[in-house]
């Protein structure tokens, strides 16, 4: 046990002694703050009539977005999830790229324990990224909603449940990143996969899947959809035409956990336990 705890603190030290974590955290905060603040202003403006519906090309779509706060707050995970994935993937692939697996495995020869320690560490730091993302979506987005006279629902238990589930989702995404990094140790390839999948492939798949009921059920198991189900709200579910019910929050959480476990276990076998040359 002490060996595991030492390994976890060493993994924390690895993250916090390089610059990547705070660069990603700053970009995350800025990105989510801009998006949540901007869209909070737009939606709240339309909903409260400050912005005339005639001025907006909604294509005959809704001008009532339902309860705005959860939608705005969920940007923390529905858009921000790529950041913990990147941090996790870079933490793992960096070990291959900079050949630091050698000193790591010399200091702690039990490799499974090291990978476990890395996962635990990144789950906690991923949740920390969740705090940063929520500070942006709730702090800035909620502030803008209040400015438009929309109740930011900061007293509501629902809001704080969403906050808690967002932290869990962000932690699990970081674990998926660790697993992916072990699965695809080439750092450039790993980054390309993360960006292409999260920004392009999965949104398209979710959209395509949503048109038929049967594919929509399968689409619910895509990692992004599972994450949104866990958090309980997302701009993507709002945009889904077929209207199939998403997974329950706990099912979404288990699906995410499943992705993380599968990627990590396969990654352990294909790269982590191999010869370090």
Partner 1 sequence: MSTGAVIEFTSISKRFGGVAAVKDLSFTVEPGRVTGFLGPNGAGKTTSLRILLGLVAASSGTATFGGVRYRDLPHPLKTVGAALEAASFHPGRTARDHLGVYAIAAGLPRTRVMEVLTLVGLAAHAAQRVGGYSLGMRQRLGLAYALLGDPGVLVLDEPINGLDPEGIRWIRGFLRDMAAEGRTVLVSSHLLSEVQQSVDDVVIIARGELVHLGPLSSLDTDAAPQTIVESPDREALAAALTAAGITFSIGRTGLLAATGDPALLGHLAFTAGVELSVLHRQKAGLEDSFLALVGGGHTL
Least Å distance, CB 96 to partner 1, is 11
Residue 275 touches partner 1, criterion: CB under 8 A: yes
> Binding of partner 1 at residue 27 (CB under 8 A)?
no
The residue range among 11-19, 25-33, 169-177, 207-215 that interacts with partner 1, by the rule CB under 8 A, is 11-19
With contacts defined by CB under 8 A, how many residues of the chain interact with partner 1? 27
Task: Report yes or no: 272 and 181 within 8 Å, Cβ to Cβ.
Answer: no
By CB under 8 A, residue 19 contacts partner 1: yes
Out of 67, 105, 205, 266, the only residue in the binding site for partner 1 (CB under 8 A) is: 105
Give me the phi and psi of 136, to 5 degrees please: -75, -50
For residue 192, give every residue at least 6 positions away whose Cβ sits within 8 Å of its Cβ, in sequence order, or none: none
Residue 211 and residue 241 in contact, taking contact as beta carbons nearer than 8 Å: yes
Rule CB under 8 A: say whether 108 interacts with partner 1.
yes
Q: Is 30 in the site for partner 1 (CB under 8 A)?
A: no
How far apart CA 34 and CA 47 sit, in angstroms, is 20
Q: How far apart are alpha carbons 122 and 192 in whole angstroms?
A: 20
Q: How far is the CB of 94 from partner 1 (least distance, A)?
A: 6
Stretch that binds partner 1, among 14-22, 141-149, 240-248, 253-261 (CB under 8 A): 14-22
- For the bound state, the minimum distance from the C-beta of residue 100 to partner 1, rounded and expressed in Å, comes to 6
Contact between 23 and partner 1 per CB under 8 A: no
Q: How far apart are CA 189 and CA 194, in angstroms?
A: 9
Question: Of these, 34, 50, 53, 98, which contacts partner 1 (CB under 8 A)?
Answer: 98
SS3 for 173? helix
Count how many residues are written for the chain. 277
CB of 5 to partner 1, least distance (A): 10
CA angle 272, 230, 270 (to 5 degrees): 15
10 binds partner 1 (CB under 8 A): yes
Among 61, 109, 241, 243, binds partner 1 (CB under 8 A): 109
Distances in whole angstroms, Cα of residue 271 to Cα of each of 110, 116, 217, 274: 15, 15, 33, 5
Are 229 and 251 a contacting pair, CB within 8 Å? yes
Please report, as ranges, the residues that interact with partner 1 according to CB under 8 A: 2, 6-7, 9-10, 13-14, 17-20, 94, 98-100, 102-110, 275-277
């Amino acid at each position: 046990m002490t060996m595991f705890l030492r390994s976890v603190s060493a993994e924390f030290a690895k993250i916090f002694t390089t610059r990547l974590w705070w660069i990603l955290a700053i970009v995350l905060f800025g990105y989510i703050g801009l998006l949540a603040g901007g869209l909070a202003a737009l939606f709240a403006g339309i909903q409260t009539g400050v912005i005339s519906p005639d001025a907006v090309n909604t294509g005959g779509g809704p001008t009532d977005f339902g309860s705005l706060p959860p939608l705005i707050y969920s940007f923390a995970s529905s858009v921000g999830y790529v950041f913990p994935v990147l941090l996790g993937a870079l933490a793992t692939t960096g070990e291959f790229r900079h050949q630091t697996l050698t000193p790591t495995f010399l200091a702690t020869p039990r490799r499974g324990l090291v990978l476990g320690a890395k996962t635990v560490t990144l789950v906690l730091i991923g949740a920390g990224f969740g705090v940063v993302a929520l500070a942006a979506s709730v702090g800035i987005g909620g502030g803008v909603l209040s400015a438009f006279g929309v109740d930011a629902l900061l007293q509501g238990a629902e809001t704080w449940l969403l906050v808690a589930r967002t932290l869990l989702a962000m932690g699990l995404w970081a674990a998926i990143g660790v697993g992916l990094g072990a699965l695809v140790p080439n750092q450039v390839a790993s980054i390309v996969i993360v960006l292409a999948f999260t920004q392009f492939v999965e949104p398209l798949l979710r959209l395509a899947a949503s048109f038929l009921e049967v594919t929509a059920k399968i689409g619910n198991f895509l990692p992004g959809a599972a994450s949104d189900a866990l958090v309980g709200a997302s701009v993507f579910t709002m945009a889904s035409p077929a209207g199939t019910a998403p997974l329950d929050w706990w099912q979404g959480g288990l699906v995410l956990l499943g992705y993380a476990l599968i990627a990590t276990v396969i990654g352990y076998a294909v790269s982590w336990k191999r010869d370090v040359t």
